Structure 1
Amino acid sequence: MEKPLTEVCTVTHPEHARVARPTPPPSYGDAELHEAALAAIRAPSMHNSQPWRLRLRDGAIEVLADPGRRLTVADRTGWAVLIACGAATFNARLALAVRGRPAEVRLLPAADVVARLSPGRERPATYAEEALYARIPQRHSNRSPFWPEPVPRDIRRRLARAADSEQAWLDLVVDRPALTQLAEIAVSADEVLRRDDNYQAELLAWTHTDSAADGVPVRAGGVRPEPQDLLPQRGFGGRTRAPGRDYEAEPLVGVLGMSGDRPADQVQAGQALEKVLLTATDSGLAVSLISQPIEVAAARARLRRFLNRPGWPQMVLRLGYGVPGRAGPRRRLSEVLT
């Protein structure tokens, strides 16, 4: 006679039960913060003012604007701070990606935090990320005259793609009449700024002859500007040029812009700007930034009409081939981390 099937029930007392603990979300630590900050502080900023701070909070790395380092005359709207913090954010992104821990970026320029980098899906770095990351220590503004050698078309396309990949656009001015018109806009903006004594005093305050950790060293100021120059150069106390040593007659000039002009657009423009600059460095180009047409509202409006396209110009770049220089000074990490 078959025995009836029986169901065995096991009773587990509450004190013996295993409680399933939720998996903690991924987070960054001090090592990632250190690497991100080392890269971020190499970003460009107006007068090398370095208006950023970084911190680790709730497992994410945050890039903050440093209001105490904002240029009160040249950057009345805060545009230059957001551009600089955006560039610092892009460098931090590259550093994290090279470590195999790329970030998901959220832009928050309305608060004290400009950008928040949270851990994304881990993956190996791409060759392109590694190449641009390796150029961070080498990137710098070259304010000296460039050689007359033209920039090849394939490199110009690479620069435009770099801007496009960061939701920006880069218009390269290669036609002589158009270049002359753009130069007139830039020169008129520079003249407006030069007439402002407070602007000149601020520029002088950020020009250094010693080994300061910020500002523009005189050695990096290029040669002193002269009236016949096509494009305006800031007077950072550079050396006097030899007779006949004018700047290049037909430089390659690019205008970087965004579809919008909100604070978040300006931070994104800073990310795009740094990607273009690192791409130019990786391509063997020298670059200097010409922000005067953006600083003066009337000149910016003229520049926008000149481009005849939707969107807002955020930076003018001068590109070409020149004698390699070296990167400018930077503050210690202890001064940047908070």
Structure 2
Amino acid sequence: MNQRALSDEHVTNLVRDAAVAPSMHNAQPWRFRYLRGSHTFQLRADLGRVLPHADPQQRALHLGCGAALLNLRVALVHEGWRPETRLRPDPADPGLLATVRPIALGTADSGLAALYPAIHRRHSSRYPFDDTQIPQRIRAALSDAADREEATLTFPSPWHLQEVLELLEEAEARNLTDPGSSQDLAEWTRIDDSSVNTERDGVPGYAFGPRKLGGKAPMRDFAGNRPVAGRAAAEFERTPQLAVLSTAHDLPEDWLRAGQAMERVLLLATLEGLSTSFASQALEWSDLRWPLRDPVSGTGHAQIVLRLGYGPEGPGTPRRPVPDILDIEP
């Protein structure tokens, strides 16, 4: 197996690509380490960025880190490497989520390489989408993208969609009155846009999107019960187009696979001209998460609900500087 050394600048650029991945409340719960001696990237959990109320089991943390891992793989394949990836390689070190070793002259996944242009274009859009139906061809391609990462993406049938929407509505109502959820929002959201140039994480007020005036889109209100000066209200879609991503099992390795599948789907959706956002509220309540599963098979563990459609692109959100998340060691 031939290997070429990566310069520190090259490593930095690869991690910069990885770190534009989505994460719950934009907490960015990852750290990277590059070991020059073994030409290996380590992806580690940043446990100081856990959301204690919304994510006590750290499932969402693993999803976000899995998304960053997928971005790293895409960036490497784009440059002609074959990334040799291992999930949770050391049972004695649970904070080590994955290792990635770039192998030269390998057979790379051309499907991953094609996704690279979408890495920095993908942003969550919390604006109304129109009612144009996503073509079946694109739905099938998105499902195939999830399957390639050992996950399943399904578009709920009309009656199941109604149930999913009711579960999400119930969860959002709980979150608005739950002290723990309010605490998480206070920690990770910024309603003062004057902080745009100083914050490095979290969801700023300009990315909240308009307050929902009508429609059935399952929008999280990042303002909570706090007033946001000048925030508009808007009518959202009456029949949202949602997709449920699930895995056969529900262990940390499965959460990492789900995060990679989620990002692979989002990048492909971006290339196909779709806007996307998340509807994860019901997944934060154990009694509401289980009914999200596929009612036909009755199996699988729902990991995320995606909202897709045709509408405005979302704005970029703050990112931590690469020196804050990357260590390069001999």
TM over 0.5: yes
Query: Partners in 2 of 1:271 and 1:27 — Cα distance?
Result: 26
1:85 to 57, 61, 65: 65
Larger Rg: 1
2:27 to 27, 46, 49: 49
RMSD of the TM alignment (CA)?
Answer: 2.2
Q: Which amino acid is 1:218 matched to? A: G
**Displacement of 1:47 after TM fit?**
0.4
Larger RCO: 1 or 2 (CA < 8 Å, sep 6+):
2
Q: Which moved more, 1:202-211 or 1:54-63?
A: 202-211
**Displacement of 1:177 after TM fit?**
2.7
| Alignment partner of 1:113 is 2:96 | yes
**How high is the sequence identity, in percent, across the aligned residues?**
37
Query: Partners in 1 of 2:134 and 2:66 — Cα distance?
Result: 27
1:291 to 280, 300, 316: 280
2:207 to 220, 227, 230: 220
Partner of 1:312: 301
Give 3-state SS (helix, strand or coil) of 1:191's partner: helix
Partner of 1:262: 251
Query: Partners in 1 of 2:70 and 2:314 — Cα distance?
Result: 23
Query: Partners in 1 of 2:3 and 2:203 — Cα distance?
Result: 42
In the comparison of the two structures, how many residue pairs are matched?
312
**Displacement of 1:197 after TM fit?**
1.2
Give 3-state SS (helix, strand or coil) of 1:35's partner: helix
Q: How does 1:137-156 map to 2 (within 5 A)?
A: 137-156=120-139
1:170 to 135, 153, 176: 153
Q: Which moved more, 1:154-163 or 1:29-38?
A: 29-38
Partner of 1:63: 43
**Displacement of 1:27 after TM fit?**
6.2
Q: Specify every segment of 5 or more residues in structure 1 that has no aligned partner in the other structure, as ranges.
A: 1-22
**Displacement of 1:25 after TM fit?**
7.1
**Displacement of 1:105 after TM fit?**
0.5
1:232 to 218, 237, 243: 218
| Alignment partner of 1:332 is 2:295 | no
Query: Partners in 1 of 2:218 and 2:143 — Cα distance?
Result: 24
Work out whether residues 44 and 84 of structure 1, in 8 Å CA contact, stay in contact via their aligned partners in 2: yes
Q: Provide Cα deviations, 1:263-309, integer angstroms capped at 9, x if missing partner.
A: 00000100000000000000000000111121110001121264644
Give 3-state SS (helix, strand or coil) of 1:260's partner: coil
Q: Specify every segment of 5 or more residues in structure 2 that has no aligned partner in the other structure, as ranges.
A: none
Partner of 1:250: 239
Q: Which moved more, 1:175-184 or 1:272-281?
A: 175-184
Query: Partners in 2 of 1:328 and 1:307 — Cα distance?
Result: 38
Partner of 2:291: 302
Query: Partners in 2 of 1:334 and 1:135 — Cα distance?
Result: 24
1:157 to 122, 131, 140: 140
Query: Partners in 2 of 1:38 and 1:101 — Cα distance?
Result: 17
| Alignment partner of 1:102 is 2:82 | yes
**Displacement of 1:331 after TM fit?**
0.9
Q: Which moved more, 1:125-134 or 1:250-259?
A: 125-134
Q: Which amino acid is 1:215 matched to? A: G
| Alignment partner of 1:39 is 2:17 | yes
2:184 to 199, 202, 219: 202
Give 3-state SS (helix, strand or coil) of 1:281's partner: helix
Work out whether residues 78 and 114 of structure 2, in 8 Å CA contact, stay in contact via their aligned partners in 1: no
Query: Partners in 2 of 1:146 and 1:30 — Cα distance?
Result: 42
| Alignment partner of 1:191 is 2:173 | yes
**Displacement of 1:207 after TM fit?**
1.3
1:134 to 117, 128, 133: 117
| Alignment partner of 1:30 is 2:17 | no
**Displacement of 1:40 after TM fit?**
1.0
